[in-house]
Amino acid sequence: MKLQITKQEVQALALDLINAIKANTQSGKDRFGKRFTPYSQRPFAMPYGAVLSKAKRKQAIKAGEISFFRNTKGEKRKATKGLWITWRGGYRQYKGFMKPNENTAVVNLDLTGRMLRNIRLKNIDLSEHLELVLNKENMITGATIRVPTVEITIGFGMEKEALKAEWNINRGRDFMGLPDAQLDEIIKQHFSNRGFGE
């Protein structure tokens, strides 16, 4: 006996897994269903030209929320000549200036949206293994069944976005995965009518 799973079915499953990861992340939850480590409120330095919005940068300067220093060892661009700025209230303050209508107490890893949009299905590995068939009394019947083995690899399409993800994960915000119960439920939605995921 052989159970069949097609590549197209696994691709549909993978898409739902990716969407669930994005939804969890945007709601402020990590791969274990726990709240993310809060954004830092310690002083945060960045190149002057790296600020997403020039208008918001001017607003922060006018409000006295940032200070300046020169990074003589760093890359010197013609316009800024190694000029860096420090946000006194940390990354949380920076994000608050960039997205003033968003509650920065909720960590959602979504400053520009590019990192989450860049999550991709990288690979599908379909194989199978043999399992012994048991009867109702859990006794071996002598029959075997070929059971599909599915491995799905989810990652990023661009190295820059992968590095952002790694940076966040290393700071206690591991979002690349799902809680076991949620993962099981999604698998059941796709395959329980054929005996998988039960």
User: According to DSSP H, which parts of 89-137 are helical?
Assistant: 90-98, 114-117
Euclidean distance between the first and the last CA atom of the chain, given in angstroms as a whole number: 18
pLDDT band of 77, cuts 50, 70, 90: low
Residues 179 and 148 in one domain: yes
Tokens read off for 168: 């966040």
Q: Does the pLDDT value for residue 160 go beyond 90? A: yes
Same domain? For 97 and 128 the reply is no
Residues 33 and 70 in one domain: no
Domain end point (choices 106, 125, 147) = 106
Q: Region 94-122: what's the mean pLDDT?
A: 92
Same domain, 33 and 49: no
Whether residues 30 and 125 share a domain: the answer is: yes
Residue 137 lies in a domain: yes
Q: Indicate whether 2 belongs to any domain.
A: no
pLDDT band at 76 (very low <50, low <70, confident <90, very high): low
Instruction: Please give the residue range of the domain that contains residue 98.
Output: 44-106
> Which single residue is written with the structure tokens 């190149």?
47
Q: What are 69's two structure tokens?
A: 């220093």
